[in-house]
Structure 1
Amino acid sequence: MVHLFGSQFPSAAGSNAPSLPLPAVVIELGELFAGAGHELSLVGGPVRDLFLGRISPDLDFTTDADPDATIAVVKKWADTFWEIGRDFGTIGLRKGQHTIEVTTYRAEAYDPDSRKPVVAFGTSLEDDLFRRDFTMNAMALRLPSLELVDPYGGVKDLQAGLLRTPGAPSSSFSDDPLRMMRAARFASQLGVTVAPEVSAAMKDMAGRIEIISAERVRDELVKLVNGKDPRTGVDLLVDTGLADFVLPEVAALRLEIDEHHRHKDVYQHSLTVLEQACSLETDDDGALPGPDFVLRFAALMHDVGKPATRRFEPSGAVSFRHHDMVGSKLTAKRMKKLRFDNDTIKAVSRLVELHMRFYGYGEAGWTDSAVRRYVNDAGPLLERLHRLTRSDVTTRNKRKAEQLAFAYDDLEQRIATLQEQEQLDAVRPDLDGARIMALLGIKPGPLVGRAYRFLLEERLENGPAASEEAEAELLAWWREQPEFVPVVDQGAPAPRGDRNQ
C-alpha cells in the first residue's frame, strides 16, 4: 500500500485529513506508462473514495495513450487483459486481485435520437475531466507523482456534500442523460445534496432519459434502491419528473394525496415503508442481511395498485379493494420493461401480492391450516414477507401499532412452532407422484397434478397424515372424479383416466 497524506492535497482537504491507502499496483502502473512516455492518472470514483476514506473495488485510469499503445504497455505486466471496450477507448485488465480499466482521454456525446454515445478521443487530462458527470468525480491523481488534479472544485463540493457538474448541467445531461439517474443514485449512496441548478436541469430534461436503454436505467435504479438513503433518491426522481418515465407507478402515488384526509398520504407512506424495511434487513440471526433489493423494491411498490382501485364509499370512507393483486401485476409489468430477470420479477411481485395477507389475523385469529397456507404461499420469501409486513405499519396511533406488532409476534411464534412440528417450510403432500399413479392406475399427465393438488390441500388443511389415511382420502376423491370408472370384473375396461392422457 502507498499512503497519501492530507498535506499532499489542496488546503480544501484540511490539515487533519487522514492517511489514505492506495494499492501498490496504482504506482506500478503509473511507472510503466511513464517509462513508455505516456501520461496516466487515477481518475473518478477511486479518487473520490479516497477522500471518503474507502477503497473502490475497481480502479479506473485515464491516459493519453490510445488503446494499441495501452495494450503494448500492459500486456506483459497484467495477468490478463481484454478489449471489450476498445471502441470506447477502454482496455480492461486484471492484476492480482485488482480489476483495472484504462481509458484514453476522451469526450463523448449522445446523438439526440441514439442510445449509444459517440466517442471522440481527447488530448489532455483537464479536458477529459471536464466531460465527467460531477465535480466530485472530475478529480485525478497524476501517476506516479500522486499530484492531485482538481480543476472544478471536486474536493470542496465533496466536503460540502454538494453535487455539481463541471460545466453546465444541461450540457452534461444532454451528453449522457443517464447522469440524471446517477445524481439521484449519489443522493442515496453518498448522502449529498443536488445543487439547485442541477435539480432544475433534471426537471427540464427528464424526458431525455427515454433515449437510454432499459438495462442502464435498471442498473442505476438498483444502486439507488440499495443505497444508504433510498428514500432521498426516490424522492428526487419523483420531484424532478424522472420517475414519470422510469417509475410512473410510484410517481402516480402522489396523486393519491387526499385533501380531505380520508386516508393517509400513500406516497409518503410508501417512502416510510421503504425506510423501515431497510432498517429491518439485518437482525441478530442474520437471516436477511442488507442491502436486499427484493425487499426494498417490494416495499416501495407495495401500494402502487391503490390509484387504480381507490373508491369513495357512501359512508365517506375510502377503499382500495384488491390493490395488492393490481399492484402485483403493475410491478411485474414495470420490472419487465426495465429488463429485470424473471426470478427477481417473480419475487418482488409476489411480495406485493402477499403484503396484505396478514391483516385480520389480530382480530379473528387463524386456524393452523391458515398459518400453513401463509407459509406455503410465501415459500422462500417468508423472511422478506415478515419484514415487509412489519414495515407496512406506519400509523401514528401507538396503541394500534403495538397491537399489530403483538399480533405479528404471535403469528411468527405459531409459524415457528408448526415448523418444528411439521417442517412447514417444505410442505408436501403425504403421497408422491409415483404412489399416486400406482394407486389410481394412471399415467403421467394433468390428472396426476389434480390428485397432487388435492392431497396438498388436505395436508395444508389438516396437517400430516399417515400413508394409509392419505391413500384412503385419495381413493375417496378419485371415486368422485369424472374419469373414474368402477371395475366390474376382470374384463372391464381400465379407468378412463388411463386412456385420457
Structure 2
Amino acid sequence: MDIRCTDKELFVFNKIGHAAADLGIEAWIIGGFVRDKLIGRNTKDADIVCVGDGIELANRVADRFNPRPPVAFFKTYGTAQIKLKDFYDHQDIEELGISEKGDDPLAERGDDSPAEDGSAPPSFRKEGGGEAAFEIEFVGARKESYRYHSRNPEVLPGTIKDDQDRRDFTINAMAISLNKADFGTLVDPFNGIKDLENKLIRTPLDPLQTFSDDPLRMMRAIRFAAQLGFTIHPPVFQAIKDNVERIRIISQERITDELNKILLSNKPSVGFDLLYKAGLLHIIFPQMIDLVGAEFVDGLGHKDNFYHTLQVVDNISRHTNDLWLRWAALLHDIGKPPTKKFEAGHGWTFHGHEVVGGRMVPRIFARLKLPQNEKMRFVRKLVELHLRPISLTKEDITDSAIRRLLFDAGDDIEALMMLCSADITSKNKQKVKRYLENFELVKLRLHEVEEKDRIRNWQPPITGEMVMEIFGLTPCKQVGDIKNAIREAILDGKIDNNYDAAYDFMLKTADELGLKPVI
C-alpha cells in the first residue's frame, strides 16, 4: 500500500518536520489521515502527535506561513489546531526543494530504504491535485488511565508507543514519521496495514479494556464498519456486547454524532443492524427496537418493520446525502408499534401511524439532542405525509388530490417523492416493479397539475387583510372561515385559481354568513 500525498499536504508536512526539528522534538502523522491515505479515501485533515508540547509545535508551524494562520488551542487538553487555506505558491515549493517527483528535503534516504525493523516502508510521495484547505491538529504524545465511572482519563506525557497503545483500533494506530532520520516511514506496531488489507476492525490491546476505558469506541467500531465496509473482529464484537451498559456514561451529543455518521455512510443498514445485534440500540434508541420482529395471528403476519426501515434508509441513501432526509427515512414508520392492531378477518393494521409518528419526531429529536428547528419540522412533515403519494396510486387521481398534496408538501415535494419511492419494498420483485410503475404515474400527474395550477407554496388570491377591509371586520373567526372556504374551493377545483373567481366566491360565502361589504 502506498501513502500518496498531494503537493499541498507534503508541503505542510515538510514545514511541520522542520518546526519539530527546530524544537528538538519528534513528530508523526497519526490516525485517520494515515488510514484513509492507505485505502485511497479522501481526507481533509491530519492529526500530528509529538513527543513534546503540541501547542508549542503548532505555533512554530504557524510561524512558517505568511500570512500566519491563527492557532486555536485548548490548554486543558494540550491540543491545538491550524486551518490552512490557499497557503502556498510555486515559489514556496521551489524554496523547499520539492520536485515534481516529490523528493523530500528532510529525508536522506530513498523511498525504498528499509525501516528500522527491516520491512520496506510504504511509498510516501507527492500526488498532484488536492483542495486548498487543510486542518491540522497537534497534540503531545500521552498515556492514559481511566476511572471506571468516567470516560475522562488521567493523562500523562508519553512516548509514541504509549500514544499508539491508547488508540482505539489498529487501523487508527498507524503513524508516519516526519523526522529527518526516517521521514515517511510507517510506524505500525499492531499490524494495522494487514487489518486494512483484510478489512478487519481490531483493537490494539484487550478489547474489553479498550471499550471499558472509552465506551464511545464501541459506536466508533460500528461506525467504521458501516463507513468502510469492514468486519468487526469476532472477539472485538463480543467485547462490545459485554460492555454495552458502559455506553450510559457517554454524553448524548457524542452518541448522536456517531449515529449521524452511521446514517451518512454508504449503507447505513450495516451500522444500525450491528447496533441492534450488539445491544447498543436498545439503550440509545429504544423506539427503533419497538419496530423489530413480525407477529402472526391466525396465520396472518406483518413485515418486520425494523428491517423494512433499514432497507428504506439504504434505498434513499443511494440517491441523496441529505442527513435530514435520511432521518425522515429512519423515522417514517416509527409510529407503527403504538398503532399496531389485529383486526379479525382482515389482519394487522397501523391506522394513523403517520400522524402518531409525526408527533413522536419532536420528542425523539429532543432526546437525541438533535436540532429543534426547521430540520426537525422537515423530518416531521415528511413522516406525516409519507403515505399520501403512495395512496394516490390506489385510486383515480383527481386534480384536487394532487393540488392538496402539492399545497401541503410545498418545496419539499421532491424530497417526499424520493422518500415514498424508497418506501416501496418487497421480496416480490414484480410487485415492486408494478408499484414503482404506478408511482411514476403519480409523478407525471404532479408535474401536469403543477404546470397548470402553480399550486406549490401557493397562497389564496384573497388575504385575511383584504377580507377585514372589505367587510369592516377585526380579526375574528369569520375572517378565517372565509379564507378557508376560498382555499378549499380552489384546491377542490370548484373555482379557478385567480382573483376574480376568488372575489366572487368570497362575496357568496360572506353573504351566507350574513356579512355585507362596506366598501
Matches within 5 A, 1:214-225: 214-225=252-263
Does residue 330 of the first structure (1) align with residue 368 of the second (2)?
Answer: no
Mean Cα displacement is larger for which, 235-244 or 205-214?
205-214
Residue 51 (structure 1) aligns with: 38
Number of residue pairs the alignment of both structures matches? 462
Q: Which has the higher contact order (CA 8 A, sep 6+)?
A: 2
- Shift of the 112–446 alpha-carbon distance from structure 1 to 2, 3 Å rule, reads farther
Residue 268 (structure 1) aligns with: 307
- 1:131 partner letter: R
Residue 69 (structure 2) aligns with: 80
The match for 1:101 among 111, 118, 137 is 137
Asked if structure 1 preserves the Cα contact closer than 8 Å seen for 2:79 and 2:139, the reply is yes
**Cα offset, 1:95, TM superposition:** 2.8
Asked if structure 2 preserves the Cα contact closer than 8 Å seen for 1:430 and 1:464, the reply is no
Asked if structure 2 preserves the Cα contact closer than 8 Å seen for 1:170 and 1:201, the reply is yes
The match for 1:415 among 446, 469, 472 is 446
Q: Work out the CA distance in 2 between the residues paired with 1:23 and 1:252.
A: 51
Asked if structure 2 preserves the Cα contact closer than 8 Å seen for 1:108 and 1:118, the reply is yes
- Three-state SS of the structure 1 residue aligned to 2:389 is coil
Asked if structure 1 preserves the Cα contact closer than 8 Å seen for 2:148 and 2:213, the reply is no
Asked if structure 2 preserves the Cα contact closer than 8 Å seen for 1:47 and 1:141, the reply is yes
- 2:28 partner letter: S
**Cα offset, 1:398, TM superposition:** 4.1
Asked if structure 1 preserves the Cα contact closer than 8 Å seen for 2:4 and 2:37, the reply is no
- Shift of the 401–103 alpha-carbon distance from structure 1 to 2, 3 Å rule, reads same
TM-score by length of 2: 0.83
- Shift of the 304–258 alpha-carbon distance from structure 1 to 2, 3 Å rule, reads farther
Q: Work out the CA distance in 1 between the residues paired with 2:60 and 2:302.
A: 65
Asked if structure 2 preserves the Cα contact closer than 8 Å seen for 1:108 and 1:117, the reply is no
Q: Work out the CA distance in 2 between the residues paired with 1:95 and 1:262.
A: 58
TM-score by length of 1: 0.85
Q: Work out the CA distance in 2 between the residues paired with 1:251 and 1:394.
A: 20
Matches within 5 A, 1:173-192: 173-192=211-230
Residue 35 (structure 1) aligns with: 22
Matches within 5 A, 1:63-462: 63-78=50-65, 79-96=68-85, 97-108=133-144, 111-114=147-150, 117-144=152-179, 145-258=183-296, 260=299, 262-279=301-318, 281=319, 290-315=320-345, 317-341=347-371, 342-443=373-474, 448=479, 450-462=481-493
Query: Structure 2, unaligned stretches of length 5 or more?
Result: 86-132
Identity of aligned residues (%): 34
Asked if structure 1 preserves the Cα contact closer than 8 Å seen for 2:58 and 2:138, the reply is no
Query: Structure 1, unaligned stretches of length 5 or more?
Result: 1-12, 282-289, 488-493, 496-501
Residue 506 (structure 2) aligns with: 474
Q: Work out the CA distance in 2 between the residues paired with 1:41 and 1:450.
A: 71
Q: Work out the CA distance in 2 between the residues paired with 1:447 and 1:24.
A: 72
Q: Work out the CA distance in 2 between the residues paired with 1:396 and 1:26.
A: 52
CA RMSD of aligned residues (A): 2.5
- Shift of the 57–448 alpha-carbon distance from structure 1 to 2, 3 Å rule, reads farther
Mean Cα displacement is larger for which, 216-225 or 377-386?
377-386
1:166-199 alpha-carbon deviations (Å, 9 max, x no partner): 1111222222211111111111110000111111
Mean Cα displacement is larger for which, 70-79 or 89-98?
70-79
- Three-state SS of the structure 1 residue aligned to 2:218 is helix
- 2:136 partner letter: I
Q: Work out the CA distance in 2 between the residues paired with 1:428 and 1:468.
A: 15
- Three-state SS of the structure 2 residue aligned to 1:158 is helix
- 1:176 partner letter: D
- 1:64 partner letter: V
Asked if structure 2 preserves the Cα contact closer than 8 Å seen for 1:361 and 1:407, the reply is no
- Shift of the 471–107 alpha-carbon distance from structure 1 to 2, 3 Å rule, reads farther
1:145-185 alpha-carbon deviations (Å, 9 max, x no partner): 11211111111111110001111112222222111111111
